[in-house]
């Protein structure tokens, strides 16, 4: 199969495997999703989900969170790693949301990426999962699998995102990025597959 054929096959196969794509991070609104995604940097979703209940019991909106001492936030989120940086970002972005956006998470890439601790991937997740705007957030699973499945050169996350957006229909991006993540966790794992071992790789490269 050539690249387009592999992409088409994967789209069909992933829809079979994962017809439902629940958002892995527990949240109740765009703000709590934004904070959860920020915490997930270099941390598993499962661990974030064990930390956010205590954090959101303390403050689950930017108006309250901006008033919480950074040290208190840091202590709660410590298990997620990078707690000094993340705690400062959470409190500061909450302040900025109140001061510049009336306490509402903006539905705008540039505005999101201007917030502390919010890079392009985090903004893409929020735009896709909170607001339904087509985006293709590329995490480590997607970056790895795009290269393994020969859909992208894998030279950079930015290049992987651009390559995948060209290969797949825009209306499929939001669901597909989660389907690829699920496949990377369940089937085509970093250590469990060498590009030939898992079910998906065998199907792709045996055809």
User: Is 108 a catalytic site residue?
Assistant: no
Cβ proximity of 136 and 161 under 8 Å: yes
> Out of 29, 60, 121, 196, which one is annotated catalytic?
121
Sequence-ordered list of residues with C-beta below 8 angstroms from that of 78, at least 6 positions apart, any chain: none
Whole-number Å distance between alpha carbons of 100 and 107: 13
Query: 115 is written with which tokens?
Result: 């917030």
| Start-end of H helices in 21-82 | 30-39, 45-58, 62-65, 70-77
> Out of 86, 139, 147, 196, which one is annotated catalytic?
139
Whole-number Å distance between alpha carbons of 53 and 60: 9
Distance of CA 35 to the CA centre of its chain: 12
User: Is 139 a catalytic site residue?
Assistant: yes
Q: Is the dihedral of CA 54, 57, 59, 61 positive or negative?
A: positive
Cβ proximity of 58 and 124 under 8 Å: no
Catalytic residues: 121, 139
């Amino acid at each position: 199969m050539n690249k387009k054929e592999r992409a088409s096959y994967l789209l069909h196969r992933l829809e079979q495997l994962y017809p439902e794509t629940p958002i892995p991070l527990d949240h109740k609104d765009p703000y709590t999703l934004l904070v959860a995604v920020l915490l997930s940097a270099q941390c598993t979703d499962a661990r974030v989900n064990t930390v956010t209940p205590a954090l959101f019991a303390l403050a689950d909106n930017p108006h309250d969170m901006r008033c919480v001492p950074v040290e208190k936030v840091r202590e709660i989120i410590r298990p997620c790693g990078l707690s000094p940086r993340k705690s400062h970002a959470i409190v500061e972005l909450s302040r900025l949301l109140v001061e510049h956006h009336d306490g509402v998470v903006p539905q705008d890439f540039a505005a999101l990426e201007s917030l502390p601790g919010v890079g392009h991937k985090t903004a893409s997740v929020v735009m896709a999962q909170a607001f339904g705007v087509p985006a293709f957030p590329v995490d480590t699973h997607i970056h790895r699998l795009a290269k393994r499945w020969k859909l992208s050169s894998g030279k950079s996350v930015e290049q992987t995102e651009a390559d995948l957006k060209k290969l797949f229909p825009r209306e499929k991006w939001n669901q597909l990025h989660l389907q690829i993540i699920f496949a990377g966790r369940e089937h085509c794992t970093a250590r469990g597959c060498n590009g030939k071992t898992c079910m998906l790789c065998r199907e792709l490269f045996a055809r």
